[in-house]
Amino acid sequence: MGHATMGKIMWVDLGRGTIAIEPIPDRLYEQVLSGVGLAAHLLYDRIPAGADPLGPDNILGFVSGLLTGTGSLFTGRWMVTGKSPLTGGWGDANCGGNFSPAIKRCGVDGIFFTGVSPRPVYFWADKGQVELRDAGDLWGCDTLETEKRLQQKDGRHMRVACIGPAGENRSLIAGVANDGGRMAARAGLGAVMGAKRLKAVVLGGGQRIPVHDREAVKTLSRQCNETVQFAPPFMNGMMMAYAGSLMRMLPVQMAFDGMLYKLMLDKYGTASLNQIMVEVGDTPIKNWRGSNEDFDRDRSVNLSPEVFTDPMVVKYHCYSCPLGCGGLMAKKSPWPGAHKPEYESVMALGGLLMNDDADSIYQLNDMLNRAGMDTISAGGTVAFAMECYEKGILTRAETDGLELTWGNSAAILALVDKMIRREGIGDLLADGSRTAARKIGGDADRLAMHAGGQELGMHDGRYDPGFALHYSVEPTPGRHTIGSQLYYEMFRLWEKMPDLPDVGLLYTKGSKYDVDDEKIAAAAACSRFMNVLNGTGTCLFGALLGVERLPLFEWLDAATGWNRSPADYMAMGERIQNFKQAFNIKHGVEPKSFQANPRTFGRPPQTAGANAGRSVAIEDLMRAYWRHFGWDPDTGKPGEAVLNRWGIKTKPGV
Ligand code: SF4
C-alpha cells in the first residue's frame, strides 16, 4: 500500500445486502489522486450509459481526500458522487465537517453504494465491523434529529452523513448533510440516496492513515498555520460596504489577495461578503434582473456581516482547519446549535428574492438544512416562482393562495415549507426551476436561472466573466466553487508554474470581458486545480490563500513520497476533467446544453446598476476553453485521441 491512501474501497450492494472490498492499485492514485478523481474514474466505467439516476444502476460514492488525515491543513472535505438526477450528467458535491477522516479511518478511501434497498437502511462501520441496519424508525426524521439519534445509539464518536425529508421525497435539489446540517448540497445527490432508501452512513473507524514523511508534513503545516493565525484588527461590515461602493466607481480593478479574504473569513466567515458583493455587482439580485440599486445599502444593511455574526457564540472549524470560518448558533437563539447561514444561503434567500428580513433567512436556512435541501437551488427556484407570479404565469390560485411578491418573507417561508413537504405548489417546485419551468410550459423557461438544470451560485458572471464561463462549461454546471477570474487571482498559481499568466496588480475593468489566451489559460488552470483540490479533500477557502501560503503541492509530495512537480499534479487535474466530460458524453449530455440562461451573462445587458452595459461573449469563451483542452470547439466533446492520451477508454457514444 502506498502512502496517504488506504489502498482500497468498499462496495455495498443495497439490493442484495452484500459488502465487498476492492483493492486500488497505487498507480491509479498517481493518475487521478483520490476523492473526486478516483470516483470519476470508477463511475465513468461502471455506471451504464443511460442509467436512471434514481434507479438501481446509479452508484452513489462517498469519498475522502488523498490528503485527509495526513496532518496537512484545510484537508477535511469529503465528496458525494454519482450521476446527477438534476443535470443528467456527472454529479459531485463537496462538504466540510468531520466525516472525511472517518471514511479513511474505516480503512478505505471511498464507500460506493449500488442497487436499491427494499426497506430504509443505514450503513454502519466501526472497528473493522460493517453492517446494513434497519432505518425504519429514522425515515421521516430531519438531518439533525437523525444524526442525534444515531449518535445516541451508536456512540458520540460516530460520524454521520444523512438525508432529511427532501432526500426521502426524491427532491432533485436535495443534498446530504453531516455535522449538524452542513450540506453537500449540489447536484441533487440527496435524491439518489433517498431513492436507494439509504438514510445514513455512520462511520467510526480507528485505522491509522499512512504518511510518507510525517515530519515534513508537520513542518509545512506549522508554516501554513503561522500565516493563518495572522489576524490584525479588521474593518467592520459597513466599512466593507463602502469599500465595495468605492471599488464599483473606480475604472480599474486591483487584483484581490487571498490574505485579505482570510481576514474577512476570520472575522465574519462568508457572511463578510454579504454587503460588499452586492455593492460591487457580484451578488445577483431579484432573480438576476435587479442590481445593487434595487438592493441598496439601506436594504443590504439588514443582512450585514454583523447581523449574521452576533448570534454566533462558537466558531466552527472543519476537521484539520486552522481558520474556522463557520459558526454555531447560541443556545439562547431560536435555532440553538444550528450552523449560521453562509453568504450563498443569505443571498439566495435574501437579495435574489429582494428579502431583507434576516430572521426569515435564519429560519429558512435552518429549515433547509434540516430538510436536507440545497439553499442555493431552493432560493433560485423561489425567485423563479416569484417572477412567474409577477408576470401572471403563476396565479394566486396556483400558488395555493400565497402572495409571491418580491421580499414577502412570510410567503417565502410558507413556500419553502411546501417545497420540503412536496405539498401543492411545493411539489411543482421541489425539483428545481428547470423541471418546474418545463411543467409550467410557455415562457416560464426564460425565467429559470440555471445551467443544465443546476441553479447558479450567488456570484454574477456579468461582474466576473470567469464565473459565467465556469457556470456554462464545466461538466458540473452552475457551480461557483470551480473557477473565476477572482479565484485565479487569489490562487496565484503562476508562482509555482511560471508558464501560467500573472494577472499583475491592476487592470482595467473592461479587460475582464476580453476573450484572449490568458483568460482561457487561467480558466483551464482553475478547472485543473479544483480537481486537484477535490482529489485531495482540500477546502477552496484555504486554497484562496495562494499556493505559496497553502503548500498543497509540497504536502502532496511529503504525504505520498511521489516527488512530482506542480505541473504533474495539474495534469492529474486535467485527466479528472476529461473523465467527467467523458462521463457526460457517455450519458448523452450535450455540453452545449449546459449554457446558462442568457440573462445571467448579460444578454440583454442591464441598463442600471454595477453591471450596466456588461455582456459576456459566452460562446467564444466556451469554444476557446474546449479548444484549450483539445476538445471539439463546436461540441465540447473530447475525441478518442485526447481520451486515449489520458488513458481513458472510449465507450459507445464517446
Ligand atoms: S475554511 Fe471554513 S469551510 Fe474551509 S475547512 Fe475551514 S471551516 Fe471548513
pLDDT in tens, 522-549: 999 999 999 999 999 999 999 999 999 9
Q: What is the pTM (predicted TM-score) of this model?
A: 0.98
CATH number reported for the structural domain that contains residue 353 in this entry? 1.10.569.10
State the closest ligand 1 atom to the C-alpha of 269, by its place in the atom list counted from 1.
Answer: 2
Residue 195 and residue 60 share a domain: yes
State residue 1's pLDDT score: 61
**Does 317 sit in the ligand 1 pocket, CB within 6 Å?**
yes
Task: Give the pLDDT band of residue 578 (cuts 50, 70, 90).
Answer: very high
CB 431 within 8 Å of CB 442: no
Residue 308 and residue 181 share a domain: no
State residue 145's pLDDT score: 97
Task: Give the pLDDT band of residue 404 (cuts 50, 70, 90).
Answer: very high
C-alpha cell at 323: 481558520
The dihedral of CA 314, 316, 317, 322: what is its sign? negative
pLDDT tens by residue, 360-401: 999 999 999 999 999 999 999 999 999 999 999 999 999 999
CATH number reported for the structural domain that contains residue 484 in this entry? 1.10.599.10
Asked if the structure places residue 226 within a domain, the reply is no
Instruction: Single out the residue of 536, 480, 478 nearest to residue 79, CA to CA.
Output: 536
**Residue whose CA is closest, atom 4 of ligand 1?**
539
State residue 2's pLDDT score: 76
Residue 180 and residue 256 share a domain: no
Asked if the structure places residue 210 within a domain, the reply is no
Residue 407 and residue 271 share a domain: yes
Residue 174 and residue 105 share a domain: yes
pLDDT, average across residues 501-513: 95
Asked if the structure places residue 213 within a domain, the reply is no
User: Does position 233 have pLDDT exceeding 90, yes or no?
Assistant: no
State residue 72's pLDDT score: 98
Asked if the structure places residue 225 within a domain, the reply is no
User: Does position 333 have pLDDT exceeding 90, yes or no?
Assistant: no
Residue 546 and residue 434 share a domain: no
Distance of CA 478 to the CA centre of its chain: 10
C-alpha cell at 146: 437523525
Segment holding 165, helix H or strand E: helix 165-168
Q: Report how far ligand 1's centroid is from the alpha carbon of 74 (Å).
A: 7
> How many domains does the chain contain in total?
3
pLDDT tens by residue, 133-144: 999 999 999 999
pLDDT tens by residue, 446-499: 999 999 999 999 999 999 999 999 999 999 999 999 999 999 999 999 999 999
Residue 346 and residue 397 share a domain: yes
pLDDT tens by residue, 508-521: 999 999 999 999 99
Residue 255 and residue 198 share a domain: no
**Does 539 sit in the ligand 1 pocket, CB within 6 Å?**
yes
For residue 620, the number of C-alpha atoms closer than 13 Å in the C-beta half-sphere is: 11
User: Which residues lie below 8 Å from residue 10, measured CB to CB, with a gap of 6+?
Assistant: 19, 20, 21, 22, 106, 108, 110, 111, 112, 125, 130
CATH number reported for the structural domain that contains residue 88 in this entry? 3.60.9.10
State the closest ligand 1 atom to the C-alpha of 270, by its place in the atom list counted from 1.
Answer: 2
**Does 324 sit in the ligand 1 pocket, CB within 6 Å?**
yes
State residue 345's pLDDT score: 98
| 206 phi and psi angles, rounded to 5 deg | 135, -5
State residue 652's pLDDT score: 72
User: Does position 178 have pLDDT exceeding 80, yes or no?
Assistant: yes
Q: Report how far ligand 1's centroid is from the alpha carbon of 538 (Å).
A: 9
State residue 641's pLDDT score: 96
Residue 493 and residue 416 share a domain: no
Asked if the structure places residue 451 within a domain, the reply is no
Residue 263 and residue 403 share a domain: yes
Q: Report how far ligand 1's centroid is from the alpha carbon of 323 (Å).
A: 7
Residue 419 and residue 490 share a domain: no
pLDDT, average across residues 621-631: 98
Residue-range definition of the domain harbouring residue 116: 8-203
**Does 572 sit in the ligand 1 pocket, CB within 6 Å?**
no
Q: Report how far ligand 1's centroid is from the alpha carbon of 177 (Å).
A: 15
State residue 348's pLDDT score: 98
Percent share of the chain, pLDDT over 70: 100
